[in-house]
Amino acid sequence: MELMKKEFRHPKGVESTQSFVDDSARRDLTINSLGLTKDGEIVDYQGGVEDLKNKLVRAVGEPKQRFEEDALRLIRTMRFAAKLGFAIEPKTLQAAKELNHLIDTVSVERVHDELFKVADGGGSALANFIEHMDESGMLERVLPEIKVLQGMEQPKEHHPEGDAYQHTLAALRTSRSKDPLTNLAIMFHDIGKNKEVHKVVDGRSTYFGHHSEGAKLFDKIADRLKFSNDEREAIKFVIDNHMLGYQMKQGMKKSTMLAMRNSPYWEHLKECFYADIMSRGIPSRIDDFNEIVDKLDHIQKVMGEKEAFEKKMSALVDGRFIMNLIPGIIGQDIGTIKNQTREWIVKNDFKVSKDQVADYIKKAGMML
């Protein structure tokens, strides 16, 4: 009940100060408390320079007081340590552990912003952040879907890096992207590997359908943390399609592959796919990655990007053309034949004439 009575995000009042000494004493971290004179000399009243040399993130003054003044400082501390690759000073870390519940008072919009700020530092920074959040006890409060991946075993021949949690960290550290949305998609790509889909088959852990489960789970995360519609769709697209390599080996329609390649979220998926397979410590897997990307690039080159593809397709088949060939056909059947015909044209790499398309439509009409 105490949390309902006390405000941990906004100061009770604003006090003016006449000196930088006082101002620096109210900063969050020593490395953020440095000043500069007009002559370019560093002003350091809180030991920030020494902490920079020692690669240490330390709260200014009494850590508990700093965090109680503004609970956002809890997650900011983890972010600075993660992006800089610094350790967290023991007393500061202990205070974060004891006060981790205060993170619940921070607005979800601010948490969302902090995630993007750390993710734009690269995958390794985001992996560090997850570990710092876990050590402080905040991971299960902010991202419980990542926390539950701990202990989710995976077959060692496919995932020598460890359980689903360790795989997520490894994939992030393998990421070559600096795009924050891409790195967040990598972080979330395996959240479907939870107890609900976990099964043991012939003594091996399996997670069939984890991509679909993960996409549904992310919808809840997106609602909770106020992701924009575009952010939501981009990350869901990656989660739902990150099994691309396996799906293509099992057989995938050209139209499906083209739609994937022409998606506005393709670059996010490609980078997730790279991080996912390369994190497993098997150098030869780069050949698998290149083979799949090359195949999709080739399909797009043959078929065209989205606008060019639709232009070529509409020149061969549309609803009016079908109605002229099959008088009296109803709307639902028009859509069915149109989709079948488009699929057939793609399967033949557009190497068909208008007359051949007409013959195909007439035969399809006879099957209705």
Name the domain boundary from 227, 262, 280. Answer: 280
Instruction: Please report, as a single letter, which amino acid is at residue 283.
Output: P
* Cα 114 to Cα 142: distance, rounded to the nearest angstrom: 11
**Nearest CA to 127 among 45, 89, 183, 86?**
183
Clarify whether residues 150 and 263 are in a common domain. yes
Instruction: Report, as ranges of residue numbers, the positions in the chain whose pLDDT lies below 50.
Output: 1-7, 11-17
Residue 320 belongs to a domain? yes
Give the chain's length. 368
Clarify whether residues 121 and 257 are in a common domain. yes
Residues 89 and 132: beta-carbon distance below 8 Å: no
**Nearest CA to 192 among 180, 172, 208?**
208
Which pLDDT score is estimated for 268? 98
Range of the domain at 211: 107-242+253-280
Which pLDDT score is estimated for 262? 95
* Cα 141 to Cα 299: distance, rounded to the nearest angstrom: 44
> Residue 245 is encoded by which pair of tokens?
């390599």
Domain count, the chain: 2
Clarify whether residues 201 and 117 are in a common domain. yes
Clarify whether residues 195 and 333 are in a common domain. no
Q: What is the pTM of this model?
A: 0.86
Which pLDDT score is estimated for 18? 58
Q: 293-324: per-residue pLDDT in tens?
A: 999 999 999 999 989 999 999 999 999 999 99
Phi-psi domain of 72 (left: phi exceeds 0; alpha: psi -120 through 50; beta: other): alpha
Clarify whether residues 134 and 272 are in a common domain. yes
Clarify whether residues 342 and 214 are in a common domain. no
Q: 79-104: per-residue pLDDT in tens?
A: 999 999 999 999 999 999 999 999 99
